[in-house]
Amino acid sequence: MTEYREPALLSREADDIKDRLNLPEGLHDLKAKERAAIPQQEMPAQEARIRAHNMDEVALGYTESQVIVEASRCLGCKNAPCVAGCPVGINIPGFIAAAAQYKFDEALQIIQESSILPAICGRVCPQEKQCMQLCTLGKIKKDPLQSVAIGRIERFLADHGSSHSTLDSKQPSTGKKVAIVGSGPSGLTTAADLARLGHDVTIFEAFHKAGGVTVYGIPEFRLPKSIVSREVENLEALGVKIIYDYLIGRTRTIKELMEKDGYDSVYVANGAGLPKFMNIEGENLVGVFSANEYLTRTNLMKAYDRDNAATPLYSSKKVAVFGGGNVAMDAARTALRMGAEEVHIVYRRTEAEMPARKEEVLHAREEGIIFDLLTNPSRILGDENGRVRGIECLKYKLGIPDESGRARPEVIEGSEFQMEIDTCITALGNSSNPLVTGTTPELEVNKWGNIIVDENGMTSMKGVFAGGDIVQGAATVILAMGDGRIAARGIHQYLSNEAQPL
Amino acid sequence: MIEILKKEQLSSDVYLMKLHAPHIAQSRRAGQFVILMMDDNYGERIPLTIADGNEVEGSITIIFQAVGGTTLQLSRMKEGEGISHVLGPLGTPTHIRKHSSPVVCVGGGIGTAPLYPIVQAFKAAGNRVITIMGARNKDLLILENEMAELSDELIICTDDGSRGRKALVTEPLKELCESDVPPAEVVAIGPPVMMKFCSETTRPFAVPTVVSLNTIMVDGTGMCGGCRVTVGDSTKFVCVDGPEFDGHKVDFNSMMSRMSSYKEQEKEHQCRMDALAKDHIKGGTQP
């Protein structure tokens, strides 16, 4: 674990480098070798022992000098391998070059050509598996985590920029109506693209707030909700209407939207469905929660604000979180902030196989989360009142890789042991959402219940498109946005063809 | 904002409200519910069954007991005022069929409210419906006239005998099961313990028994899993698979302990909210 370094110190170091290299004026004189020698700028953060007890954002964001210095590390590769790693194809070298020269507004505009949610993506994208994985600098350093910190620069630009290019480029009205099911990252992206093209866009949201997983799932300390609401306001300024408390599949069906309400096209981006459990003994005891429930209570329903929120949160002392993804890290770190004394991540593979972002795993460790690796619960034990009192686990070893390429965990016979636990949180992913597909037999689904789409995002039902988790299973914010972008192009093309007489 | 068109107090802490919700009125069917929220930022989401609806008027009717923070707050609202959020209709509608022998509908306390549209639907399908209504005393009986008008036969039970028979609802239910024409189906809605004992009553007679569960929910759309119950060998989500299940298969004991998950927090919370409300009143600001 690295030693904690004060934000003021990091800022001073960046100032020194900037002066020494005479940035940004001296940028053109820098050789590739010199660029590569600039140390990666560390993200200033709240100190672990303090942040583990508050809901404020962990990462504090780069200073201006840090952005200039970090952006100067970019080698500006002609073939720009990083762009291929971005699901929405942001012109990464373009915005980084602008940022390195203090042209922050211009840099943000370059991002906004491809992404409407930079403040969110800069914070939650798994960059080390996308753009940073393909970055030449990271290849030289043999570590994608040492690549140009693309997301951190993106975040700075989004937080500090004043550009509203999303609003400037709106086309005249086409008179076509598009309904979007769900206001998560996918729906918001499609809405923005279609509104810019002049279509009349309405988003139907089941919850009372827009943002999908960014408001119910991702915790405040990783993504402040004020940032999501700012992005949503930008979208509304573009003319997109959002109707809350409206559940497609129950309040209205897809067919009714098209036949009764006159929508010319529909984009289904209703997100994740029912949380998965493990089907082990004791799973319905009091004190066992899905991460969805635990996080929705704390984030969307604000249970962390105990003095004001009406939604209660279970009081926990010893918590076990099952799973190794971002959601598991979020749940564990939330439980710690909610006052748990001991929080365990129980995962049946090793840290190397964990699907979570490396930064989240590191942050969780720094905050004192205990990692029980190569371990999996076999049953949950209850007391006489039906409440969780412990778990029984088995130890595992890694075997040969499975279809996903990850080593298959194999149980070690006779390795049972018990842990005293009062709360279990399952973060094992979700099955598909049945509400739209269950009421729209025209939609073709695969064996997991995910909607099948063609290369333009169109489903088996004419004019109906789909994307995000309902198509991909569990995806990420940026992959959902990528789908949204494809569907927007597909919908626009579909509506343009419809408009022409045959 | 969802406008309150009409408010009526049915008993000491039970209220009826007619809400302007045209979309829900259009699509709702017997057995479904809504999720309601009183405050954008800090409110909680609570499920309430739809007791009636009028498509022409664009209204739905909810009947609730002012027991927790949100229902108390709701009970203080006036006609013409608005509720922040109402989502619905949620859940799978009641499976309504025409039976050759009678359908027995059992409502306990506030459970009579969600039972009302189900009795309506069974009647509309051409069934003979016998309704059993139970409450602790006569002041807690709701919708008596409406049920009397709708049902082919109405049996009223109170714990203290202040109206109808002095009996638990399971007593007449057992008699009906033992009669020459046993019920084709029983629908029982009320407190969990009542539904449990209704199911135990009909079990020896193998009379199909449907219960409607009202477990703890957050989103109501299948996402959180907080509402899950054990039904037979599997785990079901009340919000999307239910709220109605085969009473003979529901694990009521597990469900009842799950429903008490937040008992301590709610008690403590209520004290704090009351103190907060007092402070607000003192300070002259709106809570």
Q: Among residues 98-137 of chain B, which lie with CB inside 8 Å of chain A?
A: none
Structural contact between residues A16 and A38, judged by C-beta atoms closer than 8 angstroms: no
Question: Tokens standing for A330?
Answer: 């979020």
| CATH number of the domain to which A266 belongs | 3.50.50.60
For A59, which DSSP code?
A: B
Do both B185 and B241 map to the same domain? yes
Query: b/e per residue, A187-214, with b = 16+ CB within 10 A?
Result: bbbbbbbbbbbbbbbbbbbbbbbbbbbb
Q: Is residue B286 part of a domain?
A: no
d(CA A333, CA A357): 14
Q: Using CA atoms, how far apart are residues B163 and A435, in angstroms rounded to an integer?
A: 44
Q: What percentage of chain A reaches a pLDDT higher than 90? A: 80
Q: What does the pLDDT average to over A330-340?
A: 96
pLDDT at B264 over 60: yes
Q: Is residue A172 assigned to a domain?
A: no
- A501 in a structural domain: no
ipTM of the complex: 0.90
A169 in a structural domain: no
Question: Do A284 and B228 make contact, defined as CB atoms within 8 angstroms?
Answer: yes
- Tell me if B224 is assigned to a ligand binding site: yes
pLDDT of res. B279: 54
Query: pLDDT grade, residue A497 (50/70/90)?
Result: confident
Please tell me the total count of domains within chain B.
2
Q: Are residues A227 and A213 in the same domain?
A: yes
Of B90, B116, B143, the one marking the end of a domain is B90
Three-state SS letters, A387-408: EEEEEEEEEEEEEEECCCCCEE
> Which residues, at least 6 apart from A491, have a Cβ–Cβ distance to it below 8 Å?
A178, A190, A194, A199, A265, A267, A457, A465
Among A16-30, A39-53, B96-110, B112-126, the minimum mean pLDDT is found in A16-30
Identify the helix (H) or strand (E) that includes residue A152. helix A150-160
A81: exposed, middle or buried (C-beta count within 10 Å: 0-12, 13-18, 19+)?
A: middle
Q: In angstroms, what separates the C-alpha of B171 from chain A's closest C-alpha?
A: 30
Q: Which of A135, A160, A185 is the last residue of a domain?
A: A160
pLDDT at A474: 79
| Choice among A177-186, A270-279, B245-254 with the minimum mean pLDDT | A270-279
Query: Residue A17: which CATH number?
Result: 1.10.1060.10
Q: What angle do CA A256, A260, A266 make, to 5 degrees?
A: 55
H or E stretch including B178? helix B170-178
* Residue that terminates a domain, selected from A396, A429, A462: A429
CATH of the domain at B143: 3.40.50.80
Are B76 and B129 in a shared domain?
Answer: no
- Per-residue confidence (pLDDT) for residue B283, from 0 to 100: 40
Average pLDDT on A60-76 reads 96
Is B124 among the domain residues? yes
Rounded-to-integer distance, Cα A314 and Cα A421, Å: 13
The pLDDT, as a whole number, for residue B282 is: 45
What is the count of structural domains for chain A? 3
pTM: 0.92
Task: Identify whether residues B171 and B251 lie together within a single domain.
Answer: yes
| A311:B276 CB<8 A | no
Q: Does B227 show up as a binding residue in the annotation?
A: yes
Q: Are residues B60 and B187 in the same domain?
A: no
| DSSP secondary structure letter of residue A61 | -
Residue A165 lies in a domain: no
Hey, CA dihedral for A135, A139, A145, A146, is it positive or negative? negative
Q: Cα-flanking dihedrals φ and ψ of residue A361, to 5°? A: -65, -45
- At B195, the amino acid letter reads M
DSSP-derived 3-state class of residue B278? helix
Q: How far is B177 from chain A (nearest CA, A)?
A: 33
Q: Which residues contact A165 (CB under 8 A, 6 or more apart)?
A: A108, A109, A112, A113
Residues on chain A touching B45 (C-beta within 8 angstroms)? 301, 311
Q: How far apart are CA A204 and CA A178, in angstroms?
A: 11
Are residues A114 and A193 both part of a single domain? no
Residue A166 pLDDT = 54
Instruction: Burial-class residue B165 by CB neighbours within 10 Å (0-12, 13-18, 19+).
Output: middle
- Give the whole-angstrom CA distance, residue A8 versus residue A73: 21
Please give, rounded to a whole number of angstroms, the shortest distance from the CA of B85 to a CA of chain A: 7
The HSE-up count of residue B176 (CA atoms within 13 Å, CB side) is 26
Q: Which residues 184-223 of B have a C-beta within 8 angstroms of A?
A: 218-219, 221-223
Show residues of chain B in contact with A302, CB under 8 Å: 41-42
Q: For A312, name the nearest residue in chain B, comparing CA atoms only.
A: B265
What does the alpha-carbon distance between residue B198 and residue B215 come to, in Å, rounded to a whole number?
A: 18
Domain match, A258 and A282 both: no
Both tokens of A172, joined, read: 């005249």
How far apart (Å, rounded) are the C-alpha atoms in residues A234 and A229? 9
**Interchain proximity B230–A244, CB inside 8 Å:** no
Q: Tokens 């001991």 map to which residue?
A: A342
Four-point Cα dihedral A85, A88, A89, A92, nearest 10: -80
**Looking at the structure, do residues B57 and B146 belong to the same domain, yes or no?**
no
Nearest chain B residue (CA) to A291: B224
With CA atoms as reference, the chain B residue closest to A430 would be: B223
Mean pLDDT of A370-395: 96
- Do B134 and B13 share a structural domain? no
- Average of pLDDT values for A454-479? 92
Tell whether the model's pLDDT for residue A126 goes beyond 90: no
Residue A405, Cβ density class (10 Å: 0-12 exposed, 13-18 middle, ≥19 buried): exposed
Domain boundaries, position B239: 103-259
Q: Helix, strand, coil shares of chain B as percentages rounded to 5?
A: 30, 30, 35
The upper half-sphere exposure of residue B166, i.e. CA atoms within 13 Å in the direction of its Cβ, equals 3
pLDDT, tens only, B20-70? 999 999 999 999 999 999 988 899 999 999 999 999 999 999 999 998 889
Last residue of a domain, one of A429, A444, A471: A429
Q: Residue A243: beta bridge partners?
A: A204
Set of chain B residues whose Cβ sits within 8 Å of the Cβ of A277: 225, 235
Predicted confidence band at B285 (pLDDT cuts at 50, 70, 90)? Answer: very low
Q: Quick: pLDDT tens for A140-164.
A: 999 999 999 999 999 999 998 765 5
Inside any domain, residue B273: no
Within-domain flag for A97: yes
Is A31's pLDDT higher than 90? yes
Confidence of residue B286 (pLDDT cuts 50, 70, 90): very low
Write out the residue range of the structural domain in which residue A492 sits.
Answer: 177-272+432-496
**Contact across the interface for B223 and A311, Cβ inside 8 Å:** no
| Total residues belonging to chain A | 502
The size of the A-B interface in CB pairs under 8 A is 129
Question: Do residues A92 and A205 both lie within one domain?
Answer: no
Distance set, CA B63 to CA A186, A219, B15, B139, B239 (Å): 38, 35, 6, 15, 19
Helix (H, G, I), strand (E, B) or coil at B196: helix
Structural domain includes residue A149: yes
Indicate whether A231 and A366 sit together in one domain: no
d(CA A166, CA A176): 20
- DSSP sequence for A27-41: GGG--HHHHHHSPPP
Contact B226 A309 (CB under 8 A): no
Residue A2 lies in a domain: no
Domain boundary among B90, B121, B147: B90
B86 plus B158 within the same structural domain: no
**Chain A CB within 8 Å of residue B39 CB:** yes
B234 belongs to a structural domain: yes
Q: Is the per-residue pLDDT at A446 higher than 60?
A: yes
CA of A13 vs chain B CAs: smallest distance (Å):
41
Nearest to B216 by CA among A287, A350, A3: A287
To the nearest whole Å, the CA of B277 is away from the closest chain A CA by 11
**A435, A249 Cβ separation under 8 angstroms:** yes
A226 and A143 assigned to the same domain? no
- Domain match, A424 and A450 both: no
pLDDT for A502 equals 47
B273–A contact, CB cutoff 8 A: yes
CA distance B224 to chain A (A): 4
For A302, other C-beta atoms within 10 Å of its C-beta total: 20
Structural tokens at position B182? 């046993």
Average pLDDT, chain B: 91
**B164 in helix, strand or coil?**
coil
Is A339 at the interface with chain B, CB within 8 A?
no
pLDDT at A401 over 90: no
Q: Same domain for A307 and A420?
A: yes
User: Based on the domain organization, do B80 and B133 belong to the same domain?
Assistant: no
Both A150 and A77 in one domain: the answer is yes
Residue B138 shares a structural domain with residue B215: yes
DSSP letters, B30-47, are TT-EEEEES-TTT--EEE
Residue B15's DSSP bridge partners are B9, B64
Q: Does B270 touch chain A (CB under 8 A)?
A: no
pLDDT at B287 over 50: no
Please give the angle made by the CA atoms of B87, B92 and B96, to the nearest 5 degrees: 130
Question: Could you tell me if A23 and A132 lie in one domain?
Answer: yes
Q: Is B177 annotated as a binding residue?
A: no
Let me know if residue B280 belongs to a domain. no
Percent above pLDDT 70 for chain B: 93
Q: Give the residue among B53, B175, B58 at the shortest CA–CA distance from B118.
A: B53
The tokens describing A426, both together, are 């399952």
Q: Are residues A419 and A456 in the same domain?
A: no
User: pLDDT band at B271, cuts 50/70/90?
Assistant: low
Q: Is B77 found in the same domain as B159? A: no
Run of H or E residues at B237 = strand B234-237
Q: Test A245 with B42 for CB contact under 8 angstroms.
A: no
Tell me the mean pLDDT in the region B272-287.
50
How many residues would you count in chain B? 287
* Contact present, A416 and A393 (Cβ < 8 Å): yes
pLDDT band per the 50, 70, 90 thresholds, residue A169: low
Question: Same domain for A298 and A421?
Answer: yes
CB-based burial label for A23 (10 Å; 0-12, 13-18, 19+): buried
- Closest-CA residue of chain B to A439: B92
Residue A168 lies in a domain: no
Q: Which of residues 217-246 of A touch B (CB under 8 A)?
A: 244-246
Does residue B284 fall inside a structural domain?
no
Domain's final residue, options B55, B90, B125: B90
CATH code for the domain in which residue B85 is found: 2.40.30.10
pLDDT per position as a tens digit, A195-227: 999 999 999 999 999 999 999 999 999 999 999
| Partner A contacted by B84 (CB < 8 A) | yes
Is B105 known to sit in a ligand binding site? Answer: no
Residues A56-82: what's their mean pLDDT? 96
Within-domain flag for B274: no
Q: How many CA atoms lie within 13 A of B124 on its CB side?
A: 10
Return the residue in B224, B229, B234, B256 with the most chain A beta carbons within 10 A, the one to mutate for interface testing: B224
Write down the mean pLDDT value for chain A. Answer: 93
